[in-house]
Structure 1
Amino acid sequence: MGDPAGIGPEVIVKAYRQLHDTGRPIVVGDADVLGAATGICESDLSIQRIETVSDARFDRETIPVLDLDNVETLVRGEVREEYGAASLEYIERGIKLAKAGEIDGITTAPINKQATKLAGSTYAGHTGMLADRTNTSEYTMMLIESDLRVTHVSTHVPLREACERVTMSNVYSIIRLTAEALSDLGIEGPTVGVAGLNPHASDGGLLGDTESAEIEPAVERAREEGIDAVGPESPDTVYVRAAQGEFDCVVSMYHDQGHIPIKMLGFSSGEAVSGVNVTIGLPIIRTSVDHGTAFDIAGTGVASERSLLDAFGVAVDMARARTTG
């Protein structure tokens, strides 16, 4: 459900009937908070409190909520330790259900990092917790917006450290994880574009040697293993080429390099961002909305459910691909 004080409960309510038409959604959260969200969104959906997954009725008129009952008082739009602790509990329960095979995947509504820090979490977000709880050492995020997909060699680290992380082994690992994730999405024989680190991918060594020393050997190793990897390509054009269909995904060298084109594409339509965040490399499926808790509009019922619908759809596609593959 995400942070109780954010827009997560509202977008779940607004999206629920369409989610139900795609798969069989269960909400891990607080039933009273979800019930209040139905009022905010002027929805006629009812809430079913469940104790186990098998209790869920799965109909278009009722949201089954695995009720952790961990929100005593709710003040929307506020950062509170109580809400951070609650959102962490939702994630922990979802991970346990997925590891036990009781659910096919997890789609997460947004949490507030300040609130989870107040609750004692040392993680920057969901991803580190997911990796630790599943004993995963190699993982990264894939962002999806319309026809563009990007992955990252590094994310939430200072830029100087991000540059230091561009090593042959790290780049190769992300290329491999990317190719595997694209297959999970049902893409046969995916092509992976690999961005350079320096302007114009160093322009033949004039602007640095990271490409020749680290990225090119990583691409070559991936190609030797049968992965259709291409690069390093100039970062200022590779994303346009990918959006036009030349590559199924672009491996980005650092956070902003990959996030900026995704965010530009998402906002260019004039509507709310509808992107999807997929944690790849995990033994379980996890997707997420690509937006925050939006405390400024929490409780107004105006938040867009587009990103949640897309994130849930990607999780369903991945689950089906794993089942049939």
Structure 2
Amino acid sequence: MGDPGGIGPEVIVKGYGRLREISRPVVIGDADVIAAAIDVCGLSLGVETIESVAEASFAADRVPVIDVGGVDELVRGEVKREHGEASLAYIERAIELATAGDIDAITTAPINKQATKLAGSDHAGHTGLLADRTDTENYSMMLVEDDLRVTHVSTHVPLREACDLVTTENVRDVIRLTDAALRDLGVDDPTVGVAGLNPHASDGGLLGDEDGEEIEPAVEDAREAGIDAVGPESPDTVYVRAARGEFDCVVSMYHDQGHIPIKMLGFAGGDAVSGVNVTIGLPIIRTSVDHGTAFDIAGEGVASEQSLVDAVEVAVRMAED
């Protein structure tokens, strides 16, 4: 359900009808908060409180909620330790259900990192916690927006540290994870474009040596392993080329390098924000919306559910494969 004080509960109930068309959705969160979101959005829905997935009826007029609770007083639009604790509890329960095989995939609504930090979490968001709980060492973030997909060698670290993380081993691992994830998404014989770190991919060494010394060997290793990897390519054009179909995904060297083109596509269309975040490399399927808690509009019932619906669609596709 994500942070109770954000837009997660609202986009869930607004998207429930569409989610039922493609899956059997169960909310892991707080039943009272979901009921409050239904009221805010003016929907003709009820809440079905359950203790296990097996109890869900998946009726059209009732949202099934595994009621983990955690919210004594709902305050929308504010950072609260209690909400951070609840967010973490929902994730923990989802991981338990996924690893036990009771659910096929997890799709996460947004959490607030300040709230989860107040709650005592050492992780910057969902991803690190999911990796920690599933004993996963090699994982990455894949963002999906229409015909463009990107993965990342690093995400939530300072830019100076991100440059140090561009090593042959790290880049090679993400290329391999990317190839496997694309196949899970139904892409046969994928082509992986690899962005350079420096402008013009170092321009033959004129603008740095990381591309030649770290990224090129990773691409060569991947090709020797049978992966159709290409690069390092100039980062100012590789995303356009991917969007035109030349590459099935672009491996980005750091957070903003990959996020900016994705969010330009996802947010430029107005209020209906789309885009999907997929954690690749985990033993379970996890997708997420590609937006935050939007505290400024929480409780107004105006948030778009499109990214959530897209995220569940991707999860279903991966589960089917």
* TM-score normalized by the length of structure 1: 0.98
Alignment correspondent of 1:117:
117
The superposition leaves residues 153-188 of structure 1 with CA deviations (integer Å, 9 ceiling, x where unpaired) of: 011111111111111110000000000000110111
CA RMSD of aligned residues (A): 0.8
Please give the alpha-carbon distance, in whole angstroms, between the structure 1 residues aligned to 2:303 and 2:263. 17
Deviation at 1:210, TM superposition (A): 1.1
3-state secondary structure, aligned to 1:75: coil
The superposition leaves residues 181-239 of structure 1 with CA deviations (integer Å, 9 ceiling, x where unpaired) of: 00110111110000001110111111111111111110011011110100010000000
State which drifts further: 4-13 or 261-270. Answer: 261-270
Alignment correspondent of 1:151:
151
3-state secondary structure, aligned to 2:229: strand
Deviation at 1:272, TM superposition (A): 3.5
* 1:184-195 pair list within 5 angstroms: 184-195=184-195
Q: Does 1:104 align with 2:113?
A: no
Deviation at 1:267, TM superposition (A): 2.0
Please give the alpha-carbon distance, in whole angstroms, between the structure 2 residues aligned to 1:120 and 1:209. 40
The superposition leaves residues 62-116 of structure 1 with CA deviations (integer Å, 9 ceiling, x where unpaired) of: 1110011221111111111111100100000000000000000000000011111
Aligned residue identity for 1:110: P
Please give the alpha-carbon distance, in whole angstroms, between the structure 1 residues aligned to 2:138 and 2:296. 35
Alignment correspondent of 2:134:
134
Aligned residue identity for 1:93: R
Q: Does 1:221 align with 2:212?
A: no
Alignment correspondent of 2:261:
261
Alignment identity in percent? 73
Alignment correspondent of 1:286:
286
The superposition leaves residues 269-295 of structure 1 with CA deviations (integer Å, 9 ceiling, x where unpaired) of: 233421110000000000000111111
8 Å CA contact 1:201–1:234 kept in 2: the answer is yes
- The unaligned stretches of length 5 or more in structure 1 are none
Alignment correspondent of 2:211:
211
Aligned residue identity for 2:318: M
Q: Does 1:53 align with 2:53?
A: yes
Please give the alpha-carbon distance, in whole angstroms, between the structure 1 residues aligned to 2:38 and 2:215. 50
Please give the alpha-carbon distance, in whole angstroms, between the structure 2 residues aligned to 1:183 and 1:77. 39
Please give the alpha-carbon distance, in whole angstroms, between the structure 2 residues aligned to 1:257 and 1:227. 23
8 Å CA contact 1:193–1:238 kept in 2: the answer is yes
8 Å CA contact 1:263–1:273 kept in 2: the answer is no
Please give the alpha-carbon distance, in whole angstroms, between the structure 2 residues aligned to 1:307 and 1:155. 20
Aligned residue identity for 2:203: D
Alignment correspondent of 1:301:
301
Please give the alpha-carbon distance, in whole angstroms, between the structure 2 residues aligned to 1:168 and 1:159. 18
Count of residues paired in the alignment: 321
Please give the alpha-carbon distance, in whole angstroms, between the structure 1 residues aligned to 2:72 and 2:306. 29
Q: Does 1:318 align with 2:318?
A: yes
The superposition leaves residues 3-31 of structure 1 with CA deviations (integer Å, 9 ceiling, x where unpaired) of: 10110000000000100000100000010
Please give the alpha-carbon distance, in whole angstroms, between the structure 2 residues aligned to 1:222 and 1:8. 39
Alignment correspondent of 1:23:
23
Alignment correspondent of 2:245:
245
